[in-house]
Amino acid sequence: MRGTKMKKLFWKIKYYFKRLFSMDFSGFKNAIQYAHEKSGRSRIVLFFDMVWCSFKYTAGYVDYNEFEFYDLNSKQRETFITLGHSARIAKYYNDPEYLDIFDDKSIFVKRFSDFVHRDTFDIRESDAQGLEAFVRKHGKVMAKRTTDYVGRGIEVVDVNENPELDFETLYVALMDNRQYLIEEFFKQHPKMNELSPTSVNTLRVITFLDDENIPRILVSVLKSGLGSHVDNIGQGGMYTILDDSGTVVYPFIDKNCNQHTKHPITGTDLIGFKVPHYEQLIASIKEACLVIPQVRYMGWDVAVGVDGPEIIEGNSSTGPFQVIPSMSDEKVGVKPIYDQYIKTY
């Protein structure tokens, strides 16, 4: 027990200094100002409180503001999963020998082909002529960097809008940008299109494979774009936490911590929105959890088409998602759910 505690403390110190030396100090300053405006507390008090929370809870300034730590007491803060907690779980339970399957999107779509129904093409395995044949076959495709995340490195290529597209030039540009994976543009369910027609609105389902090899759903998140072709909050999207039936019961939150009960662009009523094919989606995710059991803690990105769900990718280092304190009377995070199944981290 003593050895485990010392190992955990050493990891926390190492993680703390790694984050410290890579910190955006301008962002830190802005975060203090934001917390000051929201809470009315002095900036100097908030500065020391953020520093304390960064070590005590491994909560960065983004966690601090997103989960409203400036309004929470220590008991309430203890119930929230932070980025540091999530990183520690991934480090402890995910075998690094298998992470390349999830870190490279091209490898992932091949290994999880039973759950990926859209047509895909790796330009590293072909040439400009092969690229042209694939794009003209589908008309509209997505070009992706195979090792990027949070919606970065994604570009739409639409030959219908640009029939004179020079594929030799495009091929070179995609290779230079490391956008090796080309995917058939996903046609989402009409109901999901009501949220935002410019993006594929996906779910992030965070799972843990317990000691009995039973997949556990820790939290289910619905994301939506805000006019962009991606829905990630870091790229200008927003998210909310779903209930067990796949229904929206809390407002969406964007990267500036604004809360939305109506979609700012489409005007769609968000509260009460139900994800179609949700039961099938959860069953599919649980099945996918068993494909690589050596990677036990996962964040699955899933889209919903007319005929059902389809996995987009798996994230072996998912960030935290939970209900924002001001959205509920309990002001309790998702950590109690994690602790039911994850005993050590």
Q: State pLDDT tens for residues 183-240.
A: 999 999 999 999 988 888 999 999 999 999 999 999 999 999 887 767 777 667 899 9
**Residue 118 token pair:** 């859209």
3-class SS at 109? Answer: helix
CA 332 remoteness from chain centre:
21
Residue 344: per-residue pLDDT: 84
Element (H, E) at 224: strand 215-224
3-class SS at 30? Answer: helix
Residues 6 or more apart whose Cβ sits within 8 Å of residue 69? 49, 53, 57, 59, 63, 77, 80
**Residue 293 token pair:** 């059991």
105 close to 146: Cβ distance less than 8 angstroms: yes
**CATH 3.30.470.20 domain residues, the chain:** 97-111+188-316
Around Cβ 243, how many Cβ atoms within 10 Å?
11
Assign domain 97-111+188-316 to its CATH superfamily.
ATP-grasp fold, B domain (3.30.470.20)
Instruction: Look up the CATH architecture of domain 120-184.
Output: 2-Layer Sandwich (3.30)
344 close to 297: Cβ distance less than 8 angstroms: no
Convert the pLDDT of each residue in 70-112 to its tens digit.
999 999 999 999 999 999 999 999 999 999 999 999 999 999 9
The answer to whether the Cα torsion of 286, 238, 34, 30 is positive or negative is positive
**Residue 134 token pair:** 């694939």
3-class SS at 122? Answer: strand
Q: What is the pLDDT along the chain (345 residues), one digit of tens a residue?
A: 555 666 666 666 777 667 666 677 788 999 999 999 999 999 999 999 999 999 899 999 999 999 999 999 999 999 999 999 999 999 999 999 999 999 999 999 999 999 999 999 999 999 999 999 999 999 999 999 998 876 678 889 999 888 889 999 999 999 999 999 999 999 999 999 999 888 889 999 999 999 999 999 999 999 998 877 677 776 678 999 999 999 999 999 998 889 999 999 889 999 999 999 999 999 999 999 999 999 999 999 999 999 999 999 999 999 999 999 999 999 999 999 999 999 888
Partner residues linked to 260 by β-bridges: 252
| Residues 286-315 as b or e (16 or more Cβ within 10 Å = b) | bebbeebeebbbbbbbbbbbeeebbbbbbb
Give all strands of the β-sheet with 140-144 in edge-to-edge order.
120-122, 181-184, 140-144, 154-158
131 close to 121: Cβ distance less than 8 angstroms: yes
The answer to whether the Cα torsion of 234, 236, 242, 245 is positive or negative is negative
> Residue 257 and residue 110: Cα distance in Å, rounded?
37
**CATH 3.30.1490 domain residues, the chain:** 120-184
